[in-house]
Amino acid sequence: MNLSFDNTEVAFAHKSNRDLKKAYRLFQTFNYPFLVNNGPKLANLALSLRLPIKGIIKNTLFAQFCGGESISESYISARQLHENGIGAILDYSVEGEGTEEDFILSYAELQKVIHEAANKPEYPIAVFKCTAIANFKMLEECTEAIRASKEVSFSENIKYNEFNTRMKGLCQLAYKNNVKLLVDAEETWIQDAIDEITYEYMALYNKDTAVVYNTIQLYRKGRIADMQKRIETARQRGYKMAFKLVRGAYMEKESERARDWGYDNPIQDSKQDTDDDYDAAIKLCFDNRDVVSICAGTHNEKSSLILAKLLKNSDIEKNDDRFWFAQLYGMSDHISYNLAASGYNVAKYLPYGPIREVLPYLSRRAQENSSVKGQAGRELSLIQSELKRRKLDI
Ligand SMILES: Cc1cc2nc3c(=O)[nH]c(=O)nc-3n(C[C@H](O)[C@H](O)[C@H](O)COP(=O)(O)OP(=O)(O)OC[C@H]3O[C@@H](n4cnc5c(N)ncnc54)[C@H](O)[C@@H]3O)c2cc1C
């Protein structure tokens, strides 16, 4: 089958007429800034007041973007994806207060996620955020120390040791169970500490195959040079380099902090620069496929097509395990389902957690799909095309 992201029939084949109409109505509400900006806050308040709105959220926003409130509840969505040739990446989306108790709970939950991936074909990959298991301030201090090339002894830092123990626990568990483990990227002022430890465990556990993946945000300046350096190190030291490639999710926050603190903005000067570096990163990884594996986490059609074409015109299979595409559940199904139907490796982040705890995640998805952030219409027009193709009234 020829790959086309315009094929809404393939993209929405898994959705009944009723579900498609429901999705249309939901994406339409994202065009109302008041609802997007205040909806999740009001929902939180209503839940605190024990107003009976849980069912409404669960049936609408939550159903569109999340798998369930628990791993077991998410399995239905994972199975539906699997039936369409798409993997699910269980994404524990609870954003805790950052207490030691939260870290212990998250660590236990993430171990469960890796076990699920080890035992069920529906979950080819696992993922986590370091801030779910580590103190933000500690990561910030470590990043400052790394940048200042200070001779700090991390081993004297109790919080760092706890983080290291959990990090090692997760990477080792993934290694023993042959599960790909993605480490999400976060704010630049904590990222060096995340990079440092992730590359350390990559050297340890990626000896034969890619297990631990570090995330590269191509909206940052200078990432290509950094990747080149990392690839060379891996080649010299004899392990596999594995990257998740994303553009980056904290652009406004990054620019604001740089302005407030008076340092150079780490973000590229334009969207075009980000796009150029993203596509250059794909090419760099493809050219170094003797040692590099990637997961291309993007909703960008052009970048997805670039990787798809490289694979199609190469000497390796389209579904070579070194190359994966990934999108978020409830978004860009036209990319995921069409790639899968054409025989590529595709997985979707499947967020889960108790409704109240995933509200911040849902709020970000609503923002992203709203006119406020200029993304409005992308999903909506695809759903509209499919409704038209099915000759359905809205
Ligand atoms: C599976 C998956 C995993 C992800 N994991 C992470 C992660 O670990 N860490 C993380 O930070 N994000 C992550 N993201 C989010 C990602 O970084 C993007 O925010 C999001 O996917 C939108 O980018 P895009 O590639 O889909 O395409 P597009 O919609 O084409 O690009 C939008 C992105 O371009 C960049 N951009 C926009 N305007 C400008 C500008 N003026 N100058 C410079 N750059 C600009 C921003 O990064 C913006 O998010 C993930 C996304 C997916 C799909």
pLDDT digits (tens, 9 = 90+) for 126-185: 999 999 999 999 999 999 999 998 766 666 688 899 999 999 999 999 999 999 999 999
- Angle, CA 55 vertex, CA 49 and CA 56 arms, to 5°: 90
In this predicted model, what pLDDT tens digit does every residue of 331-351 receive, in sequence order? 999 999 999 999 999 999 999
- The protein residue with its alpha carbon nearest to ligand 1, atom 28, reads 300
Looking up residue 106, the CATH number of its domain turns out to be 3.20.20.220
Ligand 1 pocket check for 247: Cβ under 6 Å: yes
Ligand 1 pocket check for 191: Cβ under 6 Å: no
Residues 184 and 99 reside in one and the same domain: yes
Residues 133 and 261 reside in one and the same domain: yes
Q: Which of 247, 253, 294 to mutate to test the pocket of ligand 1 (most atoms within 8 A of CB)?
A: 247
Q: Average pLDDT, stretch 255-277?
A: 98
Describe the strand order of the beta sheet including 346-352 as a list of residue ranges. 87-92, 346-352, 323-328, 292-297, 241-246, 212-217, 180-183, 125-128
Asked whether the predicted pLDDT for residue 34 surpasses 80, the reply is no
CA of 378 to the centre of ligand 1 (A): 15
In this predicted model, what pLDDT tens digit does every residue of 88-115 receive, in sequence order? 999 999 887 889 999 999 999 999 999 9
Q: Average pLDDT, stretch 59-87?
A: 96
- The protein residue with its alpha carbon nearest to ligand 1, atom 29, reads 300
* Domain count of the fold of the chain: 2
Q: What percent of the chain has pLDDT over 90?
A: 77
Ligand 1 pocket check for 204: Cβ under 6 Å: no
Asked whether the predicted pLDDT for residue 265 surpasses 70, the reply is yes
Mean pLDDT in the chain? 93
32 lies in which domain range? 1-66+356-394
Ligand 1 pocket check for 185: Cβ under 6 Å: yes
Residues 109 and 231 reside in one and the same domain: yes
Ligand 1 pocket check for 297: Cβ under 6 Å: yes
Asked whether the predicted pLDDT for residue 1 surpasses 70, the reply is no
Q: Which of 92, 90, 93 is nearest to 119 (CA)?
A: 90
Q: Which has the minimum average pLDDT: 9-13, 42-46, 66-70, 141-145? A: 42-46
Residues 236 and 328 reside in one and the same domain: yes
pTM of the entire structure? 0.95
CA of 270 to the centre of ligand 1 (A): 13
Residues 41 and 148 reside in one and the same domain: no
As to burial, measured by CB atoms within 10 angstroms (0-12 exposed, 13-18 middle, 19+ buried), residue 50 is exposed
Residues 108 and 73 reside in one and the same domain: yes
